[in-house]
Amino acid sequence: MKRRQRFGDITIHSKAYVGGVLRGKYPRQRESFSRYAWRRCRMAVKASLLAIARPLFLLAGILGLALEKLAVRLKHIGQSGAQSRVTVSPLYLPVSKSDDIEILAPSTAPRRFAAQLVLLVCVLVPSAAFLVAFAFMPPEREPLEIFLHENGAITAFRTDSETVGEFLDTMTALSPRDVLVNERTEPIEAGMLIEIRRAFPVMISSKQETDVLEVVGGTVADALSELSIEINDGDIVSPPPSTAVSAGMRISLVEVREVMETETIRLPFRKEVQKDDSLVVGQTKLKNEGKSGEKSILSRITLYDGVEVGREIIRETITREPVNQVMLEGTAPDRIPAKELITLRNDDRSRRSPPRASRVKKKMTIEATAYTHTGKTTATGTNPKVGTIAVNPELIPYGTQIYVEGYGYGVAEDTGAFRHRSKPQIDLFMDTVKECINWGRKDVTIYILD
């Protein structure tokens, strides 16, 4: 079971700390068992070899002294050439005469020495090389206690790593956005503090888009700057730009813009109705056509991320006034005023009542005279009868239907000498001379009908 004891802001992993100090077990928190076992084996082998090397170095010293003495004796034997007895100890050291052993002849002693010398060289040289290699091997580094500051907590470790980078490679992985305060090549020292600033995600919303950014610290303004988002005057930033970022923070920036816009709108014309007694009831006539006007509006528009959220009118200017439409509406009776008609002989006209005002194309006052039979046909080749009217064809075309007050309906079928006069005149046909005399000459109102 792992128990943790806290002293201030330092967290000590009891198993790693006590095991490394007292028993040497698991000196690093995350070291695998195989790696630990291999390191302990190397330490044991090295200690054993160093223990064996001490007597071997002593033996090598003794052998060196023996070889030096033997060389001196061989030199003496070669110079004398005699077969004298030489007393030699098993290690080729001089002894007393009372301890005599086998007497070697001068001819065989050098040969045995050479063989023994070769044997000694074959044994001692590799042993000496092996011992020298282990003697100069750097001693096993003792685990040092260091502290790792990560995510606001400080944890104690014991490690035999030589550099910060080597320690981190076996302990933890760094993401591309994490920041290591120390240098990776910095050597490990006792009591060293290694600081890692872990990156954490923040969400940034701008222009209706959301991005996730990993940061190790700083302010809201710094986070926006990393995404190349500028904060302009009037922009709405939540939280404020000076706020320190934290894990899971949501940052929103609303781009506020004000633009001026000029808009031209159409001003509709009004419709007016005027009474006119020249028109009969129900009859209308367009007097003035309506024309639309124009108005220019200058507005200040407020945009949030390009979307309009407010509009303020600064100025309105009428560039063209509208022209109202005027419609005339008749007030006159539907039929023209009725006057008493004269009674004429041989009058076979069926219509007697005045025409409707809607049939009247033109109304005019004109001089009217009367004429009777002349024995000739009319100018249009018809026989004159009551209802035949002589006119000036340049003013009133033949075939025009006319209503004459006091006379009644008639048709323009004849003409007379008055057509050469500039003053307009009509001549009404009557069946007798007496009727013509009674009519005489007078101004009357006539109605040109359609």
Per-residue pLDDT band for 206 (boundaries 50, 70, 90) equals confident
**Residue range 45-65: average pLDDT?**
73
Per-residue pLDDT band for 401 (boundaries 50, 70, 90) equals very high
Question: Do 161 and 125 fall within a single domain?
Answer: no
* Residue 91: per-residue pLDDT: 43
What is d(CA 357, CA 336) in angstroms, rounded to the nearest whole number?
Answer: 6
Q: Report the CATH number at residue 165.
A: 3.10.20
Q: Give the pTM.
A: 0.41
Q: Which domain holds residue 82?
A: 33-135
What is d(CA 440, CA 369) in angstroms, rounded to the nearest whole number?
Answer: 6
**Residue range 269-278: average pLDDT?**
87
What is d(CA 263, CA 296) in angstroms, rounded to the nearest whole number?
Answer: 6
Question: Do 248 and 264 fall within a single domain?
Answer: no
Helix (H, G, I), strand (E, B) or coil at 62: helix
pLDDT in tens, 101-133: 444 444 455 555 566 566 666 666 666 666 666
Question: Do 120 and 58 fall within a single domain?
Answer: yes
pLDDT in tens, 301-349: 999 988 888 999 999 999 999 999 999 888 877 677 777 888 889 888 8
Question: Do 61 and 129 fall within a single domain?
Answer: yes
Question: Do 322 and 263 fall within a single domain?
Answer: yes
Q: Report the CATH number at residue 250.
A: 3.10.20.30
Q: Among the three residues 234, 254, 274, which one is the final residue of a domain in this structure?
A: 254
Q: Which residues pair with 101 in a beta bridge?
A: none
The count of domains in the chain is 5
In a domain, 340, yes or no: no
In a domain, 343, yes or no: no
In a domain, 307, yes or no: yes
By DSSP bridging, strand 193-197 and strand 179-180 are antiparallel
In a domain, 335, yes or no: no
Top-confidence residue, 283 or 104: 283
Per-residue pLDDT band for 8 (boundaries 50, 70, 90) equals very low
Q: Of 433, 422, 334, which is closest to residue 374 (Cα–Cα)? A: 433
* Residue 417: per-residue pLDDT: 79
- pLDDT at position 370 over 90: yes
In a domain, 344, yes or no: no
pLDDT in tens, 238-254: 999 999 998 889 999 99
In a domain, 336, yes or no: no
* Residue 295: per-residue pLDDT: 92
> Within the chain, what is the greatest distance between any pair of CA atoms?
218
Per-residue pLDDT band for 138 (boundaries 50, 70, 90) equals low
In a domain, 390, yes or no: yes
Question: Do 264 and 175 fall within a single domain?
Answer: no
